Structure 1
Amino acid sequence: MAKHAEEKKFLEFSRRHVLGLMGSSAAAIGFGLPGRAYADDQEIVKSHGYSYFGDLKYSADYKHFNYVNPDAPRGGQIVLSARGKFDTLNRFARKGDFAAHSGLTGESMFATGPFGTAIPSDSLTDSYGLLAHTIEYPKARDWVIFHMRPEARFYNGTPVTAHDALFSYNLFLEQGIPGLQALMKQRIIGVEVLDDHTIKYSFVDGISRRSLLELAGGLDIFSKDWYEETGERLDEPSLQPPMGSSPYSVADFEINSYVVYKRNPDYWGYHLPINVGRHNYDRVRVEYFADSAAEFEGFKAGDFNFRVEGSTKRWATGYDFPAVENGAVKREALPSERPPNGTGFIFNFQEEKFQDLRVREALQLAFNFEWTSASLQYGLTTQRHSYVENTEIEATGLPEGAEKAFLESLGDLVPEEIFTTEAVRAHASNEATLVDRRNKRKALRLFSDAGWEVNDQGKLENVDGEVFTLKIMMHSATSDTSRAIITNYVNNLNDYGVEASIDKVDSAQAQQQFIDKEYEMLLHANRPFETSGIGLLQRHGSETADESSHNLQALKSELVDAIIYASLDATSREEEVVSLKALDRVLRYLRIQVPVGYVADNWVAYYDMFGRPEKLPAMSVGYLDFWWINQDKYDALKASGAVR
């Protein structure tokens, strides 16, 4: 399932009154800039970056990130693959399928990875200035001022100014994805240009200060003049990507076939420490394929040169072709220090039949992880119990200490079972047979308790004579392994008495149904949460349940809401960990999905023409960010005919 920005509007919070800045004639204190006045009780922070809880990893005089090779050569081309189709280069459009990596065109006040990489990749909480060289804010975080780099330039050579930043803010407010519009309205009360390279964002009073600076600092900034000259709209599909200022821009494309991004040799920001050792490819090309089989054949033929492998079957049996045997292609299992994606069969809670916790538990019992891993995935997957597996946030055993005290503070919202039963773990199944009879008996008891009995035809039926039906949506470009997992789960459900089937949909249809939540279940992933932030409200908050495509389950839970809001108000990392551990515990108790396990490492295969730092950072493999082309190796592969 292609990732897509929200297409439906959040329910807005009430707009609260604005907290006025007091004492406008008072002398500037702390780190305030000369000539600007602040209240005498406001401590002003001025910095090259931002970290919510305290010290930044990198000081103001840092030369480069620790994990990059500052002497990495620039040049060459990495060629990637994608499955499906695309018909727009504007990722903010409300319709259509946008091209892979088409979001790289814009830059923001804080640095973000143009190809989706965390920046920096060795810190969970830090943000560093890119278009802004300095940020300025009071300890209370009522507002933030960004001091922009005067040397920043758009692709066409025109300066990036505060006027462009204000225009872009208003553009998102008027034409942006509705979910983002609401998010901005809920939190940003006003934006003011102070001079050509200085802009101030003021925040709504009475809400959590968490993520406010990141929200303002993460908005893409586009050229005001370009939009006015072209008449382009942010919300409509277009084959003209918005005019941005990043190191890469679209150089060539053919709809549904390929897209090429070219590194700008005149990019304004190469001299910045934040960019040293990064953006090393001259060109990034993405080749499109109809399905996973054609895609892999393309890799074997050298049509693309870097592959992230997601198929256990292919990893176990597919890499026996000549290019692997003669060393032209390398395979690596790179250790991951991040929690795995929470992949599983997602319940859409808009469906009445999923409202009963007993039904969800019964449907979980119908999935046999052990058989699936052994029979379909060559034993290469690990059972997943938590949404933050193998981290300090993972809930274990009974709640104790600070976590117990935190849960007790939430009063009657917390079911007694949370305190008296250990954190929910995925059930065990018989590896030797798809249908585990013990789990089936337990599931049928749960169905019965929820009002579903097996009728004479072997189908689950309620007192009104309605049969329990279930459709699992499946994208036409779904991999062979995922298809097999879905098919066997459906077979098991039918054995249990559920009238289950697969709803096969093409790329465009799947995208729209995903956005509109027109599915009962689908195989997808809940993102792990290592820190708090307003993203948790998007993914699990009640306000977003019916509207946000990020809230996959359409989850509405007062308890979950209370935990998220508490995490947003945490005043230390220790408090944050306690609240997020409680969130993990409660989401598992609510059984919001059927977990399917995970691969512990990052599997990559590539033609042996790349260089990378010896020690990779914890948060990213970084092949699109800080790897590079080894020209001698490439020349040898080219001469041998291994690559095209």
Structure 2
Amino acid sequence: MILPRLRRCLQLGCLLFGLAPLAQAEHALTLYGEAPRYPADFSHFSWVNPTAPKGGTLRLAGLNGFDSLNPFIAKGNAADQLGLLYDTLTFHSPDEPFTEYGLLAQRIERDPHNRFVRFHLRPQARFNDGQPLTAEDVKFSFDILLEKGHPMYRQYYADVSAVVIEGPHQVRFDFKHADNRELPLIIGQLQILPRHWWAERDFSRTSLEPPLGSGPYRLVKVDAGRSLRYERVKDWWAADLPVTRGQYNFDVISIDYYRDMSVALEAFKAGRFDFNLEYSAKDWATGYDSPALRDGRFIKEALPNRNPVGMQGFAFNLRRPMFQDRRVREAIALLFDFEWSNKQLFFGAYKRNQSYFENSELAARGLPDAAQLALLEPWRGQVPDEVFSTPFAAPRSDASGIIREQTRRAYQLLQEAGYRIDNDRMVDAQGQPLAFEFLLAQANLERVVLPFKRNLASLGIDLQIRRVDVSQYINRMRSRDFDMTSMVWSQSNSPGNEQREYWHSSSADNPGSRNYLGLKDPAIDALVDGLVNADSRQSLLNHARALDRVLLWGHYVVPNYYIDTWRIAHWQHIRRPERTPEYDYSLMSWWHADADAAGNEESR
């Protein structure tokens, strides 16, 4: 007699010892099996206005144009907001560190031993041409991304062994091993593509044809490199789900592109677009002054940002022989005067990056504790001694612009590395000058690099600033054709597989990865693998802090600066909910005041 569960397993094509018995179905996934904030019967997130009116236009700004509407490949410069076209299996909650709630997936089953995850799709899910979205589309999306998509997908999903269609609305992802606890959650973030639409198109090529999706918006107008117009899908299949209620309220989202941020700011003050997320401390302090601000027609506000900010810094390309000596990298880093720059250029707005997981509990502070030492001891002698003995601290100055002590220490390090001054130039033992190029695409960054260039020149180091257009910058970064550039490595509260893209040897020679540094270090590899495979929050913290120490003392970047708020300006007719989620400002939960007025008028 076949037991009901075994019969069900055989019907689904399972192996008797294998591979995918039914697990407990849930409405949400959390990293370590903890209870999600919202129960299975929740009606909406607490940070939305569930009765937000629909209507109006949200006008946004883009920078530097675009030449592709395919964001999934390593070619071209993709347009902004293309994620609005696609639904994902799950929806990430921005008021929890790492929780995924079902979107396309009505129910989710994670194997207790983490050997697989199964998604039960909502039968009502549709693409925006009316075609049903099925398990075939999920498998197609995964396969095409690995086969023809950006190389990062192959790294990101490397631990998936198979995708099995178990029925029209049921799909299972099998794993190569049980150690990667994050994998079920990041699979849930997979954007689902329509198999029938791509059957007649080449996924590997850039295109300006508006793609088909199942998401809340359609792309209805494209002016290549200049503007985009998205329109809300009025009969969107997911409009009344708990995870979407109160969101995607604008009937139209339009994006006009500008050559640089300075031009865009002037356009914002003139009322040409509605919302601006400001990155420049100088512009935030002085650039918004206008009659419209004084009259209250638009608002400036700084919202708390509780996300880890990661590392922003001037990145060394370790593939260059001159940067392979840690002493040379440390010497160069000593000559960046943050305190002077913060005072003279940034109006005192920034804090100094002291961690690759800055602004979070993941950051290494003080000396390593016993748990971190247990991870680091096997690598003693292969990582810098300071990892064990000295808390990392970026150099500090008195903001006067005079950095004699830092310059003296930098000169000492360079001498130890075999350099000397010859004819006012810093040269190595072969007489080759220490000279390199700083590659940038943003004009406003040049004012930050120029004082750094002057400090380097005081020691005979020649830094040339090379500004290129965005397309050339992208191509040069992909081909690793740079000496130094400005980089940001973003982080989340639950770092995982992306760390392999950032630091792991397996990604160093992959032109599509974010291992721009060219890092190849067995100690870093082991710590990254341990972080990805962490089986508890405490283990994750231990691995992140140990990894942070090794990265910091490797002097792979010149640490820059960060801010722990979102600097936002918006015109008064754009409204937002009273509560902002902890880890996002959630623009898609905002709405247009005219729509609000229209709704009130209709209700009277």
TM-score normalised per structure 1: 0.87
Matching residue within 337, 340, 352 for 2:309: 340
SS of corresponding position for 1:386 = coil
Q: Does the residue aligned with 2:131 lie in a helix, a strand or coil?
A: coil
Amino acid at match of 1:238: S
Match of 1:28 in 2: 5
Q: Which moved more, 1:265-274 or 1:128-137?
A: 128-137
Matched, 1:429 2:402: no
CA deviation profile, 1:42-64 (whole Å, cap 9, x unmatched): 78232112112012222211111
Q: Take 1:40 and 1:558, find their aligned partners in 2: how far apart are those partners? A: 34
Task: Give the whole-Å Cα distance in 2 for the aligned partners of 1:568 and 1:93.
Answer: 25
Q: Matched residues in 2 for 1:225 and 1:570: separation?
A: 39
Cα drift, residue 406 of structure 1 = 3.1
Give the drift of 1:438.
1.4
Compared with structure 1, are the counterparts of its residues 83 and 597 closer, same or farther at alpha carbon in structure 2 (3 Å cutoff)?
Answer: same
The residue aligned with 2:210 is 241
Q: How does 1:368-379 map to 2 (within 5 A)?
A: 368-379=337-348
**Whole-angstrom distance in 1 between the partners of 2:211 and 2:141:** 11
Give the one of 24, 32, 40 matched to 1:45. Answer: 24
1:221 is aligned to 192
CA offset at residue 616 of structure 1? Answer: 1.0
Matched, 1:252 2:221: yes
1:561-608 Cα distance to aligned partner (Å, 9 max, x none): 111111222221111111111111211111221112122321111111
Are residue 192 (structure 1) and residue 155 (structure 2) matched? no
Conserved 8 A contact 2:59-2:275: yes
Please give the alpha-carbon distance, in whole angstroms, between the structure 2 residues aligned to 1:360 and 1:323: 47
Q: Structure 1 residues 485, 28: closer, same or farther in 2, change over 3 A? A: same
- Counterpart selection for 2:559 from 595, 605, 610: 595
Partner of 1:628: 591
Does the CA contact (< 8 Å) of 2:397 and 2:403 recur in 1?
yes
Corresponding residue for 1:583? 547
Of 390, 397, 411, which residue of structure 1 is paired with 2:359?
Answer: 390
Partner of 2:573: 609
Q: Deviation at 1:313?
A: 1.2
Give the corresponding residue for 1:86.
Answer: 66
In 2: Cα distance, 1:414 partner to 1:531 partner: 25
Instruction: State how 1:82-481 maps to structure 2 within 5 Å.
Output: 82-111=62-91, 119-181=92-154, 183-184=156-157, 186-205=158-177, 208-228=179-199, 231-408=200-377, 413-422=382-391, 424-433=392-401, 435-455=402-422, 457-475=423-441, 478-480=442-444
Structure 1 residues 130, 303: CA separation in 2 closer, same or farther (over 3 Å shift)? same
Moved over 4 A (4+): 24-27, 32-43, 409-415, 632-635
**Inter-partner Cα distance in structure 1 for 2:380 and 2:406:** 34
Following superposition, the deviation at residue 444 of structure 1 comes to 0.6
Cα distance change on mapping 1:34 and 1:262 into 2, 3 Å? farther
SS class of match (2:172): strand
Task: Give secondary structure in 2 for the equivalent of 1:370.
Answer: helix
- Cα pair distance change 1:524/1:605, threshold 3 Å: same
SS at match of 1:554: coil
Q: Which residue of 2 aligns with 1:642?
A: none
One-letter code of the match for 2:496? G
Please tell me the residue identity of whatever aligns with 2:31: Y
Match of 2:601 in 1: none
- CA deviations on 1:121-160 (whole Å, 9 max, x unpaired) are 0111211111111112321222222111110110101110
| Contact 1:348-1:554 within 8 A present in 2 as well | yes
Moved more, 208-217 or 33-42: 33-42
Cα distance, 1:460 vs structure 2:
0.7
Q: Is 1:503 the equivalent of 2:475?
A: no
Aligned residue type for 1:540: W
Quote how far apart the aligned CAs of 1:183 are.
4.4
Deviation at 1:167, TM superposition (A): 2.2
Does the residue aligned with 1:279 lie in a helix, a strand or coil? coil
Matched position secondary structure for 1:430: coil
Shift of 1:76: 1.2
SS at match of 2:218: strand
Contact 2:155 2:500 (8 Å CA) reproduced: no
Q: How big is the shift at 1:542? A: 0.9
Quote the Cα distance in structure 2 between the aligned partners of 1:176 and 1:241.
Answer: 18
Contact 1:177 1:235 in 2 (8 A): no
What SS does the corresponding residue of 2:566 show, helix, strand or coil?
strand
Query: How far apart are residue 543 of structure 1 and its match?
Result: 0.6
Are residues 1:69 and 2:49 paired? yes
Note the 1:548-567 alignment, pairs <5 A.
548-567=512-531
Deviation of residue 215 (structure 1)?
4.1
Partner secondary structure for residue 82 of structure 1: strand
Shift of 1:365: 0.6
Aligned partner of 2:489 in structure 1 is: 526
Match of 2:33 in 1: 54
Distance of 2:155 and 2:88 partners within structure 1? 20
The one-letter code sitting in structure 2 at the alignment partner of 1:385 is Q
SS in 2 for 1:147: strand
Secondary structure (helix, strand or coil) at the match of 1:28 reads: helix
Q: Secondary structure at the match of 2:562?
A: coil
* 1:350-371 alpha-carbon deviations (Å, 9 max, x no partner): 1111111111111111100011
Residue aligning to 1:116? none
Change (3 A) 1:632 1:528: closer
Which letter maps to 1:459?
A: R
Structure 1: which amino acid aligns with 2:151? P
Q: Contact 1:609 / 1:634 at 8 angstroms: preserved in 2?
A: no
Could you tell me whether the CA contact under 8 Å between 2:300 and 2:570 is conserved in 1? yes
Assess if the C-alpha contact under 8 Å between 2:54 and 2:591 holds in 1.
yes
- Alignment length, in residue pairs? 592
Shift of 1:410: 5.1
Distance 1:545 1:489, change over 3 A: same
Alpha-carbon displacement from aligned partner over 1:266-322 (angstroms, at most 9, x marks no partner)? 100011100011111111111111122221221121111111111111111112211
d(CA) in 1 for partners of 2:405 and 2:168?
A: 70
Judging changes above 3 Å, is the alpha-carbon distance between structure 1 residues 633 and 147 closer, same or farther for their aligned structure 2 residues?
closer
Aligned residues of 2:156 and 2:498 also touching (Cα < 8 A): no
Contact 2:106 2:122 in 1 (8 A): yes
Q: SS state of the match for residue 518, structure 1?
A: coil
SS of residue paired to 1:275: coil
Q: Summarize the Cα distance change of 1:173–1:43 in structure 2 as closer, same or farther, 3 Å threshold.
A: closer
Contact kept in structure 1, 2:72 and 2:149, CA below 8 Å: yes
C-alpha distance in structure 2 between counterparts of 1:579 and 1:598, whole Å? 23
* Partner Cα separation in structure 2 for residue 25 and residue 503 of structure 1: 72
Amino acid at match of 1:432: S
Q: Indicate the SS of the match to 1:44.
A: coil
Q: Deviations over 1:26-55 (max 9, x none)?
A: 7539xx889667759978232112112012
Instruction: Report the TM-score when normalising by structure 2.
Output: 0.93
CA contact (8 A) 1:175 1:233 kept: no
CA RMSD between the two structures: 2.3
Could you give the per-residue CA deviations for residues 106-126 of structure 1, whole angstroms, max 9, x where no partner exists?
222122xxxxxxx21011121
